[in-house]
Amino acid sequence: MGEVLKILFVEDRANDAALVEHQPRSGQIQFDAKRIDNRRDLVKEIETTTGDAILVDFPLPQLDALDVLEVLRVKKNDTPVVLVTGTLTEEQTVEFSKQGGQDFILKSSLRRLPAALLKAIERRNAERDKRKADQALAQSEERLRLVVDGARDFAIYMLAPGGEVLTWNCGAQRLFGYSADEVLGKDCAMFHSDSRKESARRLKTIADQGRLEREDWLLRMDGSRFYGDIVDGCVSSARAFSEIPGFPSSRRSSNPRGCGLWRLRPRQRPSVRIPDAFVSGAVAEMAMGHAVRRLAGHPLGDYGVNIPWLAF
């Protein structure tokens, strides 16, 4: 550790402080030291300077190790505290560790002080880095949540490997009609037109391919159907299918502002069928994506055909 450390000695005897101070220097640790022996000076140092460590004796007339830990806790200061004392009972050791003390050294074994001091500082730095990473992750998750919830025209949610719904955004509620409480933990087949077995087979395909885009019929809570753009992905660093964290999915109505005909329940729709003459050529097949022999005589709604003049 090349930088110059700032170490605060809480010790009422100057000779003892000098003895303790000698050990880190002999271990080639560069540091600036200051000695105090009362609570007022401790509070002042904590509020005005940024220290790297505090070395404290246990039984002092005006201030002991537990007092130091209490002041740090009240001030929300994470400076590591190492206890350096002549004698120490088992009860004192347990209480010191319980209150947040990093390590303890007996004055008869000061050779261990440099290593203990550096270890305490490294542990403090690692904890700071972890807190920063956790805060950054929390902020990132909150930003992502705001983006997902703000996508009102898109249903965005996560599925478990078994097909259960893990997350549900505002757009999903708007598109399907289910609130999060009504759908979380339920099988996604409740708003898909295919069976639960087909949904499970599709998830395995997505796990193999990593991504799947398609168009298909989807079901609303009120029983009506709509044709939707479907994009499914796979979040996976797992080896087994059951260990996959989830399948992020998005759904969007293929005609969010268009034909009101397709918002009706199947029994409410007019039975408009495709005449044979209309599908007698390759143009119809190219335009509608279905073989001619499959179209003739079928309801338009079966193929998601958008005819504006039939809109309600």
Q: Where a domain ends, among 133, 166, 193?
A: 133
Pairing of strands 165-168, 155-159: antiparallel
Q: What is the mean pLDDT of residues 290-294?
A: 44
Amino acid identity, residue 119?
A: K
Q: What is the mean pLDDT of residues 18-47?
A: 83
Q: Where a domain ends, among 72, 107, 133?
A: 133
142 lies in some domain: no
262 lies in some domain: no
Kindly state whether residues 161 and 113 are assigned to the same domain: no
Contacts of residue 243, defined as CB under 8 A and 6 or more positions apart, other chains included, come to: 161
143 lies in some domain: no
Whether residue 309 has pLDDT greater than 70: no
Q: What does each C-alpha distance from 181 to 108, 168, 184, 185 come to in angstroms?
A: 64, 9, 6, 9
Whether residue 34 has pLDDT greater than 80: yes
Kindly state whether residues 67 and 90 are assigned to the same domain: yes
302 lies in some domain: yes
Whether residue 254 has pLDDT greater than 70: yes
Given CA atoms 53, 57, 63, 69 in this order, what sign does their dihedral have?
A: positive
Whether residue 172 has pLDDT greater than 90: yes
Kindly state whether residues 252 and 275 are assigned to the same domain: no
Q: Report the C-alpha gap between 194 and 229 in whole angstroms.
A: 15
Q: What is the mean pLDDT of the chain?
A: 78
39 lies in some domain: yes
Q: Rg of the Cα trace of the chain? A: 34
Place of tokens 């002080």: 113
Kindly state whether residues 11 and 58 are assigned to the same domain: yes
Kindly state whether residues 45 and 79 are assigned to the same domain: yes
Kindly state whether residues 219 and 179 are assigned to the same domain: yes
Kindly state whether residues 118 and 155 are assigned to the same domain: no
145 lies in some domain: no
Q: What is the mean pLDDT of residues 13-20?
A: 79
Phi, psi of 187 (to 5 degrees): -75, 140
Place of tokens 């087949």: 189
Tokens matching residue 131 = 């807190």
209 lies in some domain: yes
Kindly state whether residues 181 and 92 are assigned to the same domain: no
Q: Where a domain ends, among 133, 167, 196?
A: 133
Q: Report the C-alpha gap between 213 and 230 in whole angstroms.
A: 6
Kindly state whether residues 198 and 232 are assigned to the same domain: yes
What CATH code is carried by the domain that includes residue 98? 3.40.50.2300
- Structural domain total, the chain: 3
Domain hosting 54: range is: 5-133
What CATH code is carried by the domain that includes residue 164? 3.30.450.20
- In our burial notation (b when 16+ CB lie closer than 10 A, e otherwise), range 238-247 reads eeeeeebebb
Q: What is the pLDDT of residues 63-98, one digit of tens each?
A: 888 889 999 999 999 999 998 888 888 888 888 889
Q: What is the pLDDT of residues 108-123, one digit of tens each?
A: 888 888 888 899 999 9
Whether residue 308 has pLDDT greater than 90: no
pTM: 0.56
Helix 113-150 and helix 14-26: axis angle, to 10°?
80
pLDDT value for 239: 65
Bridge partners of 157, per DSSP, are 168, 249
Kindly state whether residues 112 and 158 are assigned to the same domain: no
pLDDT value for 57: 84
Kindly state whether residues 232 and 279 are assigned to the same domain: no
Local structure of 188: helix, strand or coil: helix
Kindly state whether residues 14 and 107 are assigned to the same domain: yes
Query: How many beta carbons lie within 10 A of that of residue 280, not counting itself?
Result: 11
263 lies in some domain: no
